[in-house]
């Protein structure tokens, strides 16, 4: 193990200012999730006060570092750090040319908490592929990682996607969720086992040019007393209704 | 209209330090929601820069105040205030003795964003009654108000409730959502049109003594690759499945 106590340490300086291809995964749950999918990180960072608890997260090849608490806290994004981080390369996903498996397409989802929730929902519902348009929050930011709870490591997350091109080359139906009452009712609509869902920006919804390309628009019937559901919640309702119809419905 | 430009103004001082029975509702949407349910507020506060836009929110009886932007911003809880607030008395709900209508029971939901989302989901699903245990976030805090998007004004929200007493005097079935695989599957379970749902703390779930009192425990079947769903999302899935079975299912 190596001890780092100076802010002039060259590694500490690198961690403070990571290139966009790298990220520090913070906390036991994210580190565990990384480990079970990708194996060893580039390095394990442990806070001085937490050595006893997290020493087992370290590896035997020298790439484990104990940081003085005050340094560790500078790298942390939470007020009370657990005391363990993995330094990793963000997995690079090759753009999938043709959309032919269950997927989510996200058009400018800006709130990191919402994006994290949507990724977590997708993973829980069994979807493995997510396309993010430009204008979405950075999926590898602290907040998104925290609210997705490890979903990143079971998903293929494609960023900066041209959704209109993705839709034009699709091989399965794509449905948009909208608030329009002329759209079809989620609960009476026959959802095919293979399809993709397009969800739109928190304020302005789905871009009109994309809406024109989808197979059907779907609304979630709700009481008229509130304007709409949060986009994270809406994504769960459509994905789990698809799952219900596939697995639990007698047709 | 009255102009307030000094931080020594007695009203400004009151608004800075409101008693717990009062709250400032911030932003057009919350003010509109209040207006359509409860009518006039105690007072309308408008930021100097936004007078042109929000003058119509004022009332003709002198209880409208224009505040210098720097003062308004001190009362605001967001980085870029829209410029309108209502000063209101928090509606007092008499404790309902007997649980006999569709309801949510929340056991120590601590995150304000989660609580707001749950309230919004309840309103959207048509539930009107929510019991909060002690240990829940304050439902009238800024963050909860913001994420509930006006749901407060169509709900009856009972705080500091002894959930165990509520359950013991219930007249309809109560179901708990759990992660236990021995619980019943939400999608094959016959949900009665009238029932209540018990949701538990983000970390520790539902308190054991409460769990023992419910009629059935229900789980939401999901892919095993992620640990669990966010409690806000879980509340939507159970409430909307209940709604689906009531309105859209051919039994």
CA angle, B81 then B86 then B92, to 5°: 130
**Hey, which residues does A84 pair with through a beta bridge?**
A46
Range scoring the smallest mean pLDDT among A82-96, B99-113, B141-155: A82-96
What is the complex's ipTM, to 2 decimals?
0.90
The Cα B91–Cα A123 span in angstroms is 40
pLDDT higher at B180 or B162: B162
Concatenated DSSP letters of B79-90: SS--SEEEEEEP
CA distances from A223 to A176, B57, B91, B197, B231 (A): 20, 26, 22, 18, 21
The answer on pLDDT for B85 being more than 70 is yes
A62 pLDDT band, cuts 50/70/90, is low
Q: CA torsion sign, B63 to B64 to B68 to B73? A: positive
Domain ranges for chain B: 2-89, 103-249
The pairing of beta strand A216-219 with beta strand B43-47: unpaired
pLDDT at B60: 61
Residues 6+ apart with CB under 8 A from A205: A178, A179
DSSP string, A221-237: ---TTSS---HHHHHHH
Residues of B in Cβ contact (< 8 Å) with A221: 243, 247-248
**Chain A partners of B248 at a C-beta cutoff of 8 Å?**
185, 187-188, 221
Band of pLDDT at residue B251, cut at 50, 70 and 90: low
Q: Which residues of B189-212 are buried (b: 16+ CB within 10 A; e: fewer)?
A: bebeeebbbbbbbeeebbbeebbe
Residue range A5-17: average pLDDT? 96
B238 vs A contacts (CB less than 8 Å): none
Chain B, residues 80-119, CB within 8 A of chain A, namely 113, 117
Q: For an interface test with B, which of A129, A202, A225, A239 has the most B Cβ atoms less than 10 Å from its Cβ? A: A225
- Cβ(A11)–Cβ(A131) under 8 Å? no
Rounded CA separation B173/B184 (Å): 14
Cα–Cα dist B118/B110, whole Å = 12
Q: How far apart are CA A41 and CA A87, in angstroms?
A: 6
Q: Tell me the shortest Cα–Cα distance from B12 to chain A, in angstroms.
A: 32
Helix (H, G, I), strand (E, B) or coil at A25: strand
Integer Cα distance of B154 and B161 in angstroms: 19
Cβ contact A187–B247 (<8 Å): yes
Question: Looking at the complex, does the CB of residue B226 fall below 8 Å from at least one CB of chain A?
Answer: yes
Q: Does B37 touch chain A (CB under 8 A)?
A: no
Taking the CA of residue B117 as centre, how many other CA atoms within 13 Å lie in the half-sphere pointing to its CB?
23
CA distances for B94 relative to B38, B98, B157, B161, angstroms: 17, 12, 10, 11
- Indicate the CATH number for domain A2-89: 3.30.1330.30
Please determine whether the domains at B2-89 and B103-249 fall in the same fold group of CATH. no
> Is the per-residue pLDDT at B5 higher than 70?
yes
Nearest to A29 by CA among A110, A120, A99: A120
β-strand partners of A161: A133
- pLDDT tens digits, residue range B6-49? 999 999 999 999 999 999 999 999 999 998 889 899 999 999 99
**SS in 3 state form for B223-242?**
CCCCCCCCHHHHHHHHHHHH
A154 and B225 within 8 Å at the Cβ level: the answer is: yes
Cβ contacts (< 8 Å) between A230 and chain B: which residues?
117, 120, 147, 232
**In the predicted model, what is the mean pLDDT of residues A55-76?**
86
pLDDT bucket at A70, cuts 50 / 70 / 90: very high
Query: Please, which pLDDT band fits residue A95 given cuts at 50, 70 and 90?
Result: confident
**% of chain B residues with pLDDT over 70:** 97
H-type alpha helices, B4-105:
10-16, 28-38, 51-54, 69-75
Long-range contacts from B72-75, C-beta under 8 angstroms, 24+ separation: B72/B45, B72/B46, B72/B47, B72/B48, B73/B47, B74/B7, B74/B16, B75/B12, B75/B15, B75/B16, B75/B24, B75/B45
Among A99, A93, A96, which residue's Cα sits nearest to residue A152? A93
Mean pLDDT across A57-68: 80
pLDDT band at A251 (very low <50, low <70, confident <90, very high): low
HSE-up of residue A210 (Cα within 13 Å, Cβ side): 26
CATH architecture of B103-249: 3-Layer(aba) Sandwich (3.40)
Within its chain, how far is the Cα of B183 from the centroid?
A: 28
**B171, burial (CB in 10 Å: exposed 0-12, middle 13-18, buried 19+):** exposed
Q: What is the C-alpha to C-alpha distance for residues B191 and B95, in angstroms, rounded to an integer?
A: 26
| Confidence at residue B214, expressed as pLDDT on a 0 to 100 scale | 96
**pLDDT over 80 (residue B211):** yes
Please, are residues B26 and B81 in contact by the beta-carbon 8 Å criterion?
yes
Query: Is there a contact between B38 and B88 (Cβ–Cβ < 8 Å)?
Result: yes
Q: Find, among A121, A35, A98, the residue nearest to B236 by Cα.
A: A121
Average pLDDT over residues B206-218: 96
């Amino acid at each position: 193990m190596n001890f780092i106590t100076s802010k002039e340490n060259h590694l500490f300086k690198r961690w403070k200012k990571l290139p966009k291809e790298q990220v520090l995964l913070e906390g036991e749950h994210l580190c565990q999730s990384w480990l079970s999918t990708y194996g060893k990180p580039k390095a394990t960072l442990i806070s001085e006060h937490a050595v006893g608890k997290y020493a087992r997260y370290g590896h035997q090849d020298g790439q484990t570092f104990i940081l003085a608490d005050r340094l560790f806290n500078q790298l942390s994004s939470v007020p009370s750090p657990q005391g363990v981080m993995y330094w990793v390369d963000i997995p690079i996903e090759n753009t999938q040319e043709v959309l032919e498996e269950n997927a989510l397409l996200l058009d400018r989802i800006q709130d990191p908490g919402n994006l994290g929730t949507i990724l977590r929902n997708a993973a829980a519902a069994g979807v493995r592929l997510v396309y993010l348009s430009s204008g979405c929050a950075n999926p590898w930011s602290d907040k998104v990682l925290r609210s997705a709870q490890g979903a990143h490591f079971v998903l293929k997350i494609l960023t900066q996607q041209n959704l209109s091109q993705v839709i034009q080359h699709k091989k399965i139906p794509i449905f948009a969720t909208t608030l329009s009452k002329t759209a079809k009712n989620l609960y009476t609509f026959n959802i095919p086992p293979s399809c993709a869902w397009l969800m739109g920006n928190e304020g302005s919804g789905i871009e009109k040019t994309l809406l024109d390309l989808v197979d059907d628009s779907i609304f979630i019937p709700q009481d008229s007393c509130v304007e709409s559901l949060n986009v994270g919640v809406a994504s769960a309702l459509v994905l789990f209704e698809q799952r219900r119809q596939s697995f639990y419905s007698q047709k």
